[in-house]
Structure formats: structure tokens, C-alpha cells
């Protein structure tokens, strides 16, 4: 007999402001809330791995110049 495993479910309470921003991002990028949350988790995972390697996370302009370092995530 084959058993299908359902993925774990998570419930999150968001502030009205955060929920409004999430809905705005969803609308602007034609994605669902779950898609945005999965991508946010993937980005956080990048930060975790960089931190484990004593690396830093940043945003670069089109010329490769660092314009912002991301700090305070961990």
C-alpha cells in the first residue's frame, strides 16, 4: 500500500502592514503568497550559508559596485 506524504504546513500571523505589502508584491509580480514566502526563505538560506562561510551579502549595481550590504538578518 502506497502512502502519500503531505508536506508540513505552517501558519503565520502577519501584521496588517506586512500582509498588505505581501499582497502588493504578489500583485506586482503575479505570484501567490506561498511562492513569495518560498522565495523569501530561499533568500534567507543564501544569507545563512554566506554567514557560515564568513561571507557577506550585498546588492550590486549594474557595474558591479556594491551599493548596499545586507546586515542584521542573523
The total number of structural domains in the chain stands at 1
In a domain, 20, yes or no: yes
pTM of the model: 0.77
Does residue 7 belong to any structural domain of this protein?
no
Does the residue 25 lie in any domain?
Answer: yes
**Domain region containing 64:** 16-70
59 has a pLDDT exceeding 70: yes
CA dist 74 and 67 (Å) reads 20
Q: Is the pLDDT reported for residue 1 higher than 90? A: no
Alpha-carbon distance values, 9 to 6, 12, 34, 35 (Å): 9, 10, 11, 14
What distances in angstroms separate CA 5 from CA 2, 12, 14, 41, 43, one per listed residue?
10, 22, 28, 22, 26
Q: Would 34 be classed as within a structural domain?
A: yes
5: in domain: no
Amino acid at each position: 500500500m502506497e502512502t502519500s506524504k503531505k508536506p508540513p504546513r505552517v501558519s503565520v500571523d502577519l501584521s496588517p502592514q506586512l500582509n498588505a505589502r505581501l499582497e502588493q508584491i504578489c500583485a506586482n509580480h503575479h505570484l501567490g503568497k506561498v511562492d513569495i514566502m518560498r522565495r523569501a526563505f530561499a533568500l534567507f538560506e543564501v544569507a545563512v550559508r554566506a554567514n557560515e562561510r564568513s561571507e557577506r551579502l550585498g546588492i550590486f549595481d549594474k557595474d558591479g559596485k556594491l551599493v548596499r550590504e545586507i546586515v542584521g538578518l542573523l
